Amino acid sequence: MCYDAILAPLDGFAASVAAFIAAGGRGANVTVPFKEEAFKLAGRLSPRAQRAGAVNTLIFNDGILGDNTDGAGLVADLTRNLNRSLAGKRILLLGAGGAARGVIEPLLEQQPAALVIANRTVSRAQQLADLFGHGSLHAASMRQKPGRRSMSSSMPPPPASPASCRRCRRSSSQPIPWPTT
């Protein structure tokens, strides 16, 4: 068995997958920007992929099975490898694409105090927040004015600066900006 990266053209993902299958490929990992296209390509979907609306793993066996392991992997890394509980914590998720869709439900299952989806296009972040419909889930724009915070007053305070994190590799005295709408 061989595991190699294959660069698919932006307008040729499905053709690249078909060629890979024809060459004997048995499965593939999918990265941005193809996770939502992989979802559409899969003939069968795992429950995780169905909920996420995005696929990062394709298995070629009696057709194409799509799965999404983004959230399970992220939560395992944070809780097991870093030994961090997410319960009651404030989580900032940057982006509202396929990867974000894949991690929202597993993150919410950890019962954070708040999960904020920040995206350049706040309407896309809001669509995800509405889709998952959870009380601790909020949408925000990455475009903010310094010193302004237009989120609901019920939102928790901004997260701590990277300098306060013992595991951060770079130090900074600047706080992490909190997204505003």
**Domain map of the chain by residue range?**
13-67, 71-164
Query: Which superfamily does 71-164 belong to?
Result: NAD(P)-binding Rossmann-like Domain (3.40.50.720)
pLDDT tens figures, 64-121: 999 999 999 999 999 999 999 999 999 999 999 878 988 999 999 999 999 999 999 9
Q: Does residue 89 have an active-site annotation?
A: no
> Which has more confidence, 159 or 49?
49
Q: How many helices (H) and strands (E) does the chain have?
A: 6, 7
The one catalytic residue in 35, 40, 89, 145 is 35
Verify cis geometry, omega within 30 degrees of 0, for the bond prior to 158: no
Q: Which has more confidence, 176 or 60? A: 60
Q: What pLDDT, on the 0 to 100 scale, is given for residue 8?
A: 95
More confident residue, 159 or 27: 27
User: What single string gives the DSSP state of each residue in 37-97?
Assistant: HHHHH-SEE-HHHHHHT--SEEEESSSEEEE--HHHHHHHIIIIIS----TT-EEEEE--S
Q: According to the model, what pLDDT value does residue 154 have?
A: 41
Q: Are strands 57-60 and 64-67 parallel, antiparallel or unpaired?
A: antiparallel
CATH topology of domain 13-67: Rossmann fold (3.40.50)
**For 147-180, how does the pLDDT look when each residue is reduced to its tens digit (9 = 90+)?**
455 444 344 444 444 443 344 343 334 444 444 4
Euclidean distance between CA atoms 74 and 71, whole angstroms = 5
Same fold, 13-67 and 71-164: yes
What is the per-residue pLDDT for 39? 96
Provide the pLDDT for residue 2: 85
**Residue 156 Ramachandran class (φ > 0 left, ψ -120 to 50 alpha, else beta):** beta
Name the residue with tokens 């900032």.
92
